[in-house]
Amino acid sequence: MRAALDDSEVRNFIAGGPVTLIAAGKAAEGMLRGFLATSIGPIERGVAVGPGPGPLATLPIACYAGGHPLPDRSSLDAGHEALRCAAEMSPSGCLVVLLSGGASALLAVPLEGVTLGQKVEATRMLLAAGVPIHELNCVRKHLSAIKGGRLAQAAVGRVLTLAISDVVGPVENDPAVIGSGPTVVDPTTFAEATAIVGRSGVRDLIPPGVIDVLERGREGHLPETLKTSSAAVSDTMYRVVGSRRQAMEGALSVARGLGYEVMLLESPVVGEARVAGADHPRRVAAATRHLGGGPVCVVSSGETTVTVSGRGRGGRNQELALAAASEMSRLGTAAVLASVGTDGVDGPTDAAGALVDSTTPARATSLALASAATYLAENNAYAYFDRLGDLIRTGPTGTNVGDLQVVVTAGTE
């Protein structure tokens, strides 16, 4: 935050009028504190919404603890207040939006014709169907009065967005995807959102009101999200101030200090969690084959998805780790793999993720646990790792730059 606000172009964009502030996402509290610690000037009005009841209250900023991963009434209240802030700001002022992962759920205003409950149910069904996050956000934007650039459309002054990105694809750190892009041009359309729902396999389970709004939009009866032709585009500035790169570099720095030879896997870890997990030891083995025989630390990051077919508990990081357990022998030496969500929350559990090592299958057998495949079939990785004592619990971290995988090998020397 400090580096971004020290940029003369950014400071000049803000200067010249009162500041209205909106902070939304899992990093809302930290970003808000960072902004308030600068010498930008007084805040005329603002709203902040995060996933928990942190000590955010700083007048004249209205603070909310919204729902995540599904929006709730507080998300709705925060969304309406954000739109009011934008519409009632000074025309000579600057609306500063501090955006981070999770904002899609934490800041919610459904389009007219869709209730919050209907939108939540549609989101729940698409999440369970394993719809990729960028496609889910496309649908969210076309059910929203604030996403897809609509917040920028509501603003009567300049709009500056400072974002921490959890987006790895299809375009890394894509502003249109971070928080569902409330302040930027949206390249997606109602037609695409309708197609995503159609191929999800759960269209018939989604509330009819949602389908009706998407169809009316596809037919041109509802205004599209913000496009490049809009006059609002010329009065906006966007900066990504943090991403998965910082998390990976931080992990590599610690490992280097501990004496490990380090390697970064540039390609993000994406796709179905159990497929990515089963493949990850092979990727690591191939990448480290040319290294010496000493201990190695390999770091990667990304964000996978889970198609829910069972009734167990877990999250994408736990599922990735469980799928990797039976493949750890590919590394040819004693090794440990940890996969965690940088926000400290993995799915609907109290864990950030889990770790596996070369002994995981044998330890599971000694406890008379069923096979890893059985737990995967039930999406019940949490129960497996809880029995083994291999869950990673950090609590909420106050940020979100996706998921982080760390593999440490003992070496062959």
Q: What's the CATH code of the domain at 327? A: 3.40.1480.10
| C-alpha to C-alpha distance for 142 and 67, rounded to whole angstroms | 20
- Who has greater pLDDT, 30 or 231? 30
Range 132-142 average pLDDT: 89
Element of type H or E holding 264: strand 261-264
> Could you tell me if 35 and 9 are in contact, meaning their C-beta atoms sit under 8 angstroms apart?
no
Token pair for residue 348? 């609907």
pLDDT of residue 108: 94
Residue 56 has pLDDT above 60, yes or no: no
Domain boundary residue among 179, 209, 242? 242
Query: Is the domain of 150 the same as that of 182?
Result: yes
CA distances from 113 to 81, 144, 146, 192, 385 (A): 20, 11, 15, 19, 43
Which residue type sits at 317?
N
Range 295-323 average pLDDT: 95
Residue 376 has pLDDT above 90, yes or no: yes
For residue 311, the 8-state DSSP code is: S
Residue 209 counted as domain residue: no
- Residue 182 confidence class, pLDDT cut points 50, 70, 90: very high
Token pair for residue 279? 């493949």
| C-alpha to C-alpha distance for 153 and 46, rounded to whole angstroms | 17
Measured over the CA atoms of residue 22, residue 152, residue 10 and residue 134, the dihedral's sign is: positive
What is the span of the domain harbouring residue 151?
2-109+144-188+225-242
pLDDT of residue 53: 61
61-65 β-sheet, strand order? 61-65, 43-50, 19-24, 94-99, 158-164, 236-242
Residue 237 has pLDDT above 80, yes or no: yes
Residue 292 has pLDDT above 80, yes or no: no
Residue 126 counted as domain residue: no
Range 60-79 average pLDDT: 91
Query: Is the domain of 252 the same as that of 175?
Result: no
- Residue 274 confidence class, pLDDT cut points 50, 70, 90: very high
**Residues above pLDDT 70, as percent of the chain:** 98
Query: Is the domain of 182 the same as that of 268?
Result: no
Give pLDDT tens digits for 5-27. Answer: 889 999 999 998 999 999 999 99
pLDDT of residue 126: 93
Q: Prior bond to 361 cis, omega within 30?
A: no
Residue 205 counted as domain residue: no
Token pair for residue 198? 């159609």
Residue 135 counted as domain residue: no
Q: Are strands 335-341 and 158-164 parallel, antiparallel or unpaired?
A: unpaired
Residue 323 counted as domain residue: yes
pLDDT of residue 132: 85
| C-alpha to C-alpha distance for 352 and 339, rounded to whole angstroms | 8
Query: Is the domain of 287 the same as that of 181?
Result: no
- Residue 232 confidence class, pLDDT cut points 50, 70, 90: confident
pLDDT of residue 133: 78
Query: Is the domain of 57 the same as that of 179?
Result: yes
- Residue 54 confidence class, pLDDT cut points 50, 70, 90: low
Query: Is the domain of 150 the same as that of 10?
Result: yes
Distant-in-sequence, close-in-space partners of 211: CB < 8 Å, separation ≥ 6: 197, 203
What 3-state DSSP class applies to 71?
A: coil
User: What's phi and psi for 269, nearest 5 deg?
Assistant: -85, 110
pLDDT of residue 200: 95
| C-alpha to C-alpha distance for 306 and 275, rounded to whole angstroms | 10
CATH number at residue 60: 3.40.50.10180
Share the mean pLDDT of the chain: 93
- Provide the number of structural domains found in the chain: 2
| Burial of 271 per CB tally in 10 Å (0-12, 13-18, 19+) | middle
